[in-house]
Amino acid sequence: DAMVIQNPRYQVTQFGKPVTLSCSQTLNHNVMYWYQQKSSQAPKLLFHYYDKDFNNEADTPDNFQSRRPNTSFCFLDIRSPGLGDAAMYLCATSRDGLAGINEQFFGPGTRLTVL
Amino acid sequence: SQQGEEDPQALSIQEGENATMNCSYKTSINNLQWYRQNSGRGLVHLILIRSNEREKHSGRLRVTLDTSKKSSSLLITASRAADTASYFCATVVNEKLTFGTGTRLTIIP
């Protein structure tokens, strides 16, 4: 089945130790997104790629970076995780832009714990 | 902020009853989408309604959109235990999807 896959599902890191979260998709969608969701809150968009074009949200901290080496994969790098970065990180895709009738397809998320 | 506000924040009903959740937003939108999230999992798209549409149905779901009031509602009929989840409305403005605060729905068997 076509899907969005996130690895690992659970990630534990130490304060200040770089960590990379992975997302892959078999949908061949043009757009890939990263969201941060803290407990009992709405998902918050960090950035997205439209094909190879990177679009950063204005309030995304510099500590968060992303790479999309090809259509299928997208990575979230947290350079120096702080305690406040503990959250669920959700990857999503859409076939094209969202202004029309395109929906987003979400992966199961990676829950990040920072010790 | 374009973020939608959802009402109520939490809702508990008996299995078989109907559940209604409301969403309000602040500016003109391209479309509005509803998503479901089971505890600790990713989100699942439920339904999309475009700004020129007023009502859409999908199975037991009914969504309405009132652009003059900048509000939408999601009705789930004949609720089931499996409907227990958080429900988020999300508005699309200029290609960006922004989620509302969510409603936590609990179906009591």
Q: What is the pLDDT of residue A45?
A: 94
A103:B3 CB<8 A: no
Please report where in the chains the tokens 């901290």 appear, as a residue. A61
pLDDT per position as a tens digit, B73-87: 999 999 999 999 999
Q: At residue B95, does pLDDT exceed 60?
A: yes
Q: What is the pLDDT of residue A2?
A: 65
Please report where in the chains the tokens 């789930």 appear, as a residue. B76
According to the per-residue pLDDT averaged within each range, which of A89-103, B7-21, B86-100 is highest? Answer: B7-21
Q: What is the pLDDT of residue A58?
A: 92
Helix (H, G, I), strand (E, B) or coil at B82: helix
Question: B21 and chain A: CB distance < 8 Å anywhere?
Answer: no
Give the CATH number of domain B5-108; options: 3.30.70.1560, 2.60.40.10, 3.40.50.2300, 3.30.70.260.
2.60.40.10
Q: How many helices (H) and strands (E) does chain B have?
A: 0, 11
Question: A9 and chain B: CB distance < 8 Å anywhere?
Answer: no
What is the C-alpha to C-alpha distance for residues A55 and B15, in angstroms, rounded to an integer? 43
Nearest by CB to A90, which of B31, B43, B50? B43
Query: Which of B45, B86, B87, B89 has the most A C-beta neighbours within 10 Å, making it the best mutation to test the interface with A?
Result: B45
Amino acid at A64: F
Query: What is the signed CA dihedral for A16, A17, A18, A21, rounded to 10 degrees?
Result: -110
Per-residue confidence band for B3, with pLDDT thresholds at 50, 70 and 90: low
Mean pLDDT of all residues in A104-109: 94
Residue B89's Cβ-count burial label (10 Å; 0-12, 13-18, 19+) is: buried
Pick the more confident residue, A49 or A98.
A49
A109:B42 CB<8 A: yes
- Where in chain B are the domains? 5-108
Q: B3, B101 in Cβ contact below 8 A? A: yes
Please report where in the chains the tokens 């992975």 appear, as a residue. A22
Nearest by CB to A42, which of B30, B40, B101? B101
Find, in chain A, the residue whose alpha carbon is nearest to that of B88: A42
Q: Minimal Cα–Cα distance from A89 to chain B, Å?
A: 9
Q: At residue B20, does pLDDT exceed 90?
A: yes
pLDDT per position as a tens digit, B36-94: 999 878 899 999 999 999 999 999 999 999 999 999 999 999 999 999 999 999 999 88
Query: What domains lie within chain A, and their CATH numbers?
Result: 4-114 (2.60.40.10)
A99:B101 CB<8 A: no
